[in-house]
Structure 1
Amino acid sequence: MSFEGFLSLQSMPATCGFFFFAFTLLFSFFSLLLFISRMKPWCNCDICKSYLTVSWATKFTNLCDWYTHLLRKSPSGTIHVHVLGNTITANPDNVEHILKTNFQNYPKGKPFSAILGDLLGQGIFNVDGDSWLFQRKMASLELGSVAIRSYAMELVNEEIHARLLPFMLSTARGEMNKEKVLDLQDILRRFSFDNICKISFGLDPRCLLPTLPVSNLADAFDLASKLSAERAMTASPFIWKAKRLLGIGSEKRLKEAIKVVNDVAHDMIKQRREMGFNSQKNLLSRFMGSVEDDAYLRDIVVSFLLAGRDTVASALTGFFSLLSKSPEVEARIREEVGPGPELPTFDQIREMHYLNAAIHESMRLFPSIQFDSKFATEDDVLPDGTFVRKGSRVTYHPYAMGRMESIWGPDCLQFRPERWLRDGVFVPPCPFKYPVFQAGVRVCLGKDLALTEMRSVVVALVRQFEIRVVEPDQGPRFVPGLTANLRGGLPVRVLERKC
């Protein structure tokens, strides 16, 4: 090789480095221009200024509480955040219009699908049109079947008796630690993850063993959910898309986390095909009878993992945080459920009206999904007179709706299960005033299973334990994400009841 050739080879890394740096700089500059364009600095309204300067944080712990404050002040229950191109509403008439009356005009939309596409793919929560309709019909058939409900109840009861109750009892007796304190949110998330993995995959991740083992799948799923949600918080989608293209920062970590999830999912699909799936009861095996595409199967089941794990755990965490400060509610639940080690049957649990009311009331104040967004396909006018421009984002806000005096009266901030009872019988809510499980055409298909799982857990724990939040006066601090998880968890003290 000539000397000149050697010098040429030596200079190649420097040249490549220069072009990479130049490309990164150009992309960053382009993203900055888009960011400035998106901010629309000429908008001087108070809401936009407060959002851009984050001055709202001086008075409110959580962004959802600031939005609630603004929505309560709005005569129509609707506000505009111009810099985000987002119309946010807590008006039940608007919610009914979006989710039912003019449903076709408010799909999830491509912007939403892009944000969660790497994690959820073509799963039911991330698609519209024919793909959504196909999965909807298939899921409705399976989740509504007696076989799946019985199978799910069997798994939930097994997890309660074999793992949850022994763990709580060990804590209450000081075997885990002398302070008898644990992070209830973490325990409930482990419990829910074990359940949904068994129901979805036929896989037991064993997250709630006494040693509280680290689960690579659970950790990867948590990280992927968190980083996917953070994409929506960036000033411009071009920022996270540029990071993904370059394989740097949070996007690199997201890719690695999703690979772990994908590897487990694909291994489970392969095993099910080799073992034969016709005799299996889990959702993956049942879906295999209708779907042959392994990638599509992966997307469907990962969507069920997201729905069945974080939402149930979040709702139960909110419930016990409220129950800890409401001994009179706790006493009435104990009176209704009665003593005994055996968990009630599905039919028995449905007849526990006060328990049902208490769970619905807790989700009114602490919904698992605090807000949900759609994207308008055409210009529209909401029932309150708000104009919606084609392509803009429209958000309804269940968290804020649960705190609206115009909907729930002057005691809307109180935890009062009695508001759901008529002559001692639970009365279902209007879904458009209470869109905790969505409403209309896309109402949650797993609602009954989720409520049954929650009731079973509450019955088991309330019978045997007193669970008290360690710092009851401290307000909740939520972690940004797809579901409402508490920053720092929910430290509680567990005391065994002497029945």
Structure 2
Amino acid sequence: MEYSENLSFLQSLQASFCFIFFFFTISFSIFSFFLLFMRQKVWCNCDICCGYLTSSWLMEFGNLCDWYTHLLQKSPTHTIHIHVLGNTITANPDNVEYMLKTRFDNYPKGKPFSTILGDLLGKGIFNVDGDSWVFQRKMASLELGSVSIRSFAFEVVMAEIKHRLLPLLSSYAEKDGSVLDLQDVFRRFTFDNICKFSFGLDPGCLELALPISQFAESFDLATKLSAERAMVASPLIWKIKRLLNLGSERRLKEAIKKVNVLAKELIIQKRKLGFSTHQDLLSRFMACIKDDDYLRDIVISFILAGRDTMASALTTFFWLVATHPEVESKIRDEADRIMHPNQEFPSFELIREMHYLHAAVHESLRLYPPVQFDSKFARQDDVLRDGTFVMKGTRVTYHPYAMGRIEAIWGPDCMEFRPQRWLNNGTFFPQSPFKFPVFQAGIRVCLGKEMAVVAMKSVAAAVLRPFNIHVVHANVAPRFDSGLTATVRGGLPVVVRERRATDQHC
């Protein structure tokens, strides 16, 4: 009896302790959130902040990036402040060079950014600074800079074009008037490519049946919901939702869980099959990294870099070309002139000779960069080149989308799609990366830049010669969903038709 009473007393004491501990934890958390809330500037009466908080910009602009562009165009320094977000946004090339090159050490990704994307990207190269970034950067630079890996990447792209992309387009061309979402096609195309190139895995997303990929769907949802965290007026909102496992944060958690399971399964299978003789990037990283969680983060970063950005770039490129027949005609003329009459696919060497196509790709990226803006966080107080004071901890964003529409940078025809602005006597002439930071610039410049451009040119040359691509809503400018990359809302509905032999050789 005494033993039972003692046991009952201990259980009661334990329950009381657990309740007190739980109550203390919740109270402390609420108190901490309250203190943080009091430090946030959650309201500001300036026109920009009021416009952001009330979403009144929607009455005039279809995209948030277009509203930002409007504000940056009006600003004498091409720099604005959104106080409720603690965000300084600039479209000034001098400021971009200062951030990405001159004072690179003072403008890291920063903890606020890594916190927003940490659940998805972990310690991948796009979400870290310091030694971890240097290590991954050095590894990727050694691999992506080699001739063998670039040759392998080109072979992967051309195989996907030949065996999947063109047969799919041909099948729709035979269905007279059938509508195809070209953005969905390009997302499948690039997903297959990045998986084969980076992991030695073929998910077959672009097969004629257009199968559903659970991994791709979960990844899309995770990137979309992660990006939405950065759009709220205060990080407290999504942090509380994550703590309580509510709404979008619950959906994000579930999506990331599926992504993690599939990514880790990929690593396990790769380890079982052996990786010492394989060409893909994951095999090369696995030779020196044993931590599967770290490898998972690298896998996710590869997919984000090689899939979403490329699909976005191809989608807006084909929309622009389809709505500018004179550019389409010049691209075809150049391809016909450089390639042999009976040559169906261009070689790597011939792709490099297509200067007008190279210019058209860059002009498309100028107007519609896949990553419309990128943010850093000031490590110390600073002053930008245009005189803007930046307080320690401030988010500083440079805006490539807006920069492509600034007359002071690109001239009075900046809103026009003119590939010839990149040509000098028919030869491609590059511009400063700080006025065209589509691939970032300075120390963090994109390592896959050249491969991405070659892939875009390969798709364009292979598709535009045999097919006419008619955009269903050609007169409607793209509107974008929120996300880490620019995804066209509603996709890109097109009708595909075979070009007649007389059209191809006239």
Determine if contact 1:34/1:236 at 8 Å carries over to the other structure.
Answer: no
Determine if contact 1:108/1:126 at 8 Å carries over to the other structure.
Answer: yes
Identity, % of aligned pairs?
66
Name the aligned partner's letter for residue 151 of structure 1.
F
1:363 paired residue number: 365
- 1:240 shift after superposition: 1.7
Alignment of 1:146-161 (within 5 A): 146-161=147-162
* Aligned residues between the structures: 487
- SS of 1:476's equivalent in the other structure is coil
Distance 1:477 1:26 in 2: 43
Q: Which moved more, 1:69-78 or 1:28-37?
A: 28-37
Determine if contact 2:346/2:462 at 8 Å carries over to the other structure.
Answer: no
2:422 paired residue number: 420
Alignment of 1:197-216 (within 5 A): 197-216=195-214
Determine if contact 2:53/2:233 at 8 Å carries over to the other structure.
Answer: no
Q: Which moved more, 1:283-292 or 1:360-369?
A: 283-292
Distance 1:189 1:95 in 2: 30
**Which of 309, 312, 323 is the equivalent residue of 1:311?**
309
Q: Which runs of 5 or more residues in structure 1 are unaligned?
A: 1-15
- 1:134 shift after superposition: 0.5
Q: Alpha carbon RMSD of aligned pairs, Å?
A: 2.5
1:120 paired residue number: 121
- SS of 1:492's equivalent in the other structure is strand
1:11 paired residue number: none
Distance 1:31 1:50 in 2: 26
1:156-180: CA deviations, max 9, x gaps?
1111011100100111110xxx422
Determine if contact 2:42/2:233 at 8 Å carries over to the other structure.
Answer: no
**Which of 147, 172, 186 is the equivalent residue of 1:188?**
186
Alignment of 1:94-109 (within 5 A): 94-109=95-110
- 1:27 shift after superposition: 7.2
Q: Which moved more, 1:53-62 or 1:184-193?
A: 53-62
Determine if contact 1:31/1:239 at 8 Å carries over to the other structure.
Answer: no
Q: Which moved more, 1:134-143 or 1:148-157?
A: 148-157
- SS of 1:429's equivalent in the other structure is coil
The question of 1:237 aligning with 2:243 is answered no
- SS of 1:88's equivalent in the other structure is strand
- 1:45 shift after superposition: 1.5
- 1:290 shift after superposition: 1.7
Alignment of 1:283-432 (within 5 A): 283-338=281-336, 339-432=341-434
Determine if contact 1:35/1:235 at 8 Å carries over to the other structure.
Answer: no
**Which of 493, 496, 503 is the equivalent residue of 1:494?**
496
Q: Which runs of 5 or more residues in structure 2 are unaligned?
A: 1-17, 502-506
- SS of 1:495's equivalent in the other structure is strand
Name the aligned partner's letter for residue 114 of structure 1.
T
Distance 1:253 1:117 in 2: 16
1:289/1:473 Cα in 2 relative to 1: closer, same or farther (>3 Å)? same
2:169 paired residue number: 168
Distance 2:440 2:314 in 1: 18
2:456 paired residue number: 454
- 1:242 shift after superposition: 2.1
Q: Which moved more, 1:343-352 or 1:30-39?
A: 30-39
Determine if contact 1:431/1:438 at 8 Å carries over to the other structure.
Answer: yes
Distance 1:463 1:24 in 2: 64
1:214-243: CA deviations, max 9, x gaps?
100100110111111111112222222222
Determine if contact 1:200/1:284 at 8 Å carries over to the other structure.
Answer: yes
TM-score, structure 2 as length reference: 0.91
Distance 2:36 2:405 in 1: 35
TM-score, structure 1 as length reference: 0.93
Distance 1:290 1:357 in 2: 39
Alignment of 1:477-488 (within 5 A): 477-488=479-490
- SS of 1:483's equivalent in the other structure is coil
Alignment of 1:27-46 (within 5 A): 38-41=40-43, 43-46=44-47
1:129-180: CA deviations, max 9, x gaps?
0100000000001111112111111111111011100100111110xxx422
- SS of 1:179's equivalent in the other structure is coil
Distance 1:318 1:140 in 2: 28
Distance 2:460 2:74 in 1: 36
1:3 paired residue number: none
- 1:297 shift after superposition: 1.1
Distance 1:223 1:35 in 2: 28
Q: Which moved more, 1:264-273 or 1:110-119?
A: 264-273
1:474 paired residue number: 476
1:37/1:454 Cα in 2 relative to 1: closer, same or farther (>3 Å)? same
Distance 1:284 1:382 in 2: 39
Determine if contact 1:89/1:396 at 8 Å carries over to the other structure.
Answer: yes
1:463/1:22 Cα in 2 relative to 1: closer, same or farther (>3 Å)? farther
The question of 1:48 aligning with 2:49 is answered yes
Distance 2:311 2:83 in 1: 34
- SS of 2:468's equivalent in the other structure is strand
Distance 2:75 2:181 in 1: 38
1:418-444: CA deviations, max 9, x gaps?
000001000112100000000000000
